[in-house]
């Protein structure tokens, strides 16, 4: 729009100059020369040159690097918080564990504990302390009113089939084993070689040279 306004202003200025020059008879050749050179092709060339200059040589604007933690423009319409969000896990203090418990955990896992005072032992003690501290923090979470044990059981068994052990399976399993034992003894009576309640098989040894 600025380019077209500039061209119109130039044409308007040329028309004023032509009017002035026409008042002097000596300036007629100059007027004719100016009218000849002011053609549509020359106007198009002027516009193209202006556009190309703006395209390859854009105006540079120096802006200050924005700080995302302290924005200077309101961002409510973008749904962005003006203040940084807190961490989802609050800070907690690690719970130190004794060397006796540390060694006991390794024995339960069938592992050899690291050497006392080693870098590996210090790293494991720090990691276990943070884990125990996090578990202590979980215990402090207030649950809704109701049976706590039932809620924990439902949470642990969510998506997993429940197995009830009431002792009836043990009785049925014992009966099946007894039946299999009788069947096995009956089959043993058909054996041609046996030693007591076991099957026997003679191993032939090769004669030594």
Over the chain (209 residues), the average pLDDT of each successive run of 10 is: 49 49 47 49 56 52 65 61 64 84 88 88 89 82 71 68 60 60 66 71 60
The answer to whether residues 28 and 21 touch, using CB atoms and an 8 Å cutoff, is yes
Q: Which residues pair with 116 in a beta bridge?
A: none
* pLDDT confidence of residue 31: 44
Count the neighbouring beta carbons within 10 Å of the beta carbon of residue 14: 15
Cα–Cα distances in angstroms (integers) from residue 84 to residues 32, 67, 92, in the given order: 72, 12, 20
* pLDDT confidence of residue 91: 74
Q: Which residues pair with 194 in a beta bridge?
A: 199
Q: Is the entire prediction scored with pTM above 0.85? A: no
The answer to whether residues 138 and 109 touch, using CB atoms and an 8 Å cutoff, is no
67-76 contacts, C-beta under 8 A, 24 or more apart: none
d(CA 23, CA 104): 115
| Helix, coil or strand: residue 57 | coil
The answer to whether residues 194 and 188 touch, using CB atoms and an 8 Å cutoff, is yes
| Helix, coil or strand: residue 80 | coil
């Amino acid at each position: 729009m600025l380019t077209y306004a500039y061209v119109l202003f130039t044409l308007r200025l040329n028309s004023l100059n032509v009017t002035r020059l026409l008042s002097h008879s000596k300036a007629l050749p100059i007027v004719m020369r100016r009218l000849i050179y002011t053609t549509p092709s020359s106007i198009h060339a002027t516009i193209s040159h202006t556009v190309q200059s703006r395209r390859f040589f854009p105006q540079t604007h120096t802006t200050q690097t924005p700080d995302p933690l302290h924005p200077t423009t309101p961002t409510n319409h973008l749904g962005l918080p003006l203040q940084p969000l807190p961490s989802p896990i609050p800070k907690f203090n690690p719970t130190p564990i004794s060397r006796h418990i540390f060694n006991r955990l390794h024995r339960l896992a069938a592992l050899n504990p690291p050497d006392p005072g080693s870098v590996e032992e210090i790293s494991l003690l720090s990691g276990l302390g943070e884990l125990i501290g996090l578990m202590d923090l979980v215990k402090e979470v207030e649950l809704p009113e109701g049976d706590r044990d039932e809620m924990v059981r439902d949470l642990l068994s969510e998506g997993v089939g429940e197995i009830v052990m009431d002792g009836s399976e043990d009785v049925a399993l014992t009966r099946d084993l007894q039946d299999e034992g009788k069947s096995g003894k009956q089959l043993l009576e058909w054996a041609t070689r046996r030693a007591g309640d076991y099957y026997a098989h003679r191993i032939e040894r090769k004669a030594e040279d």
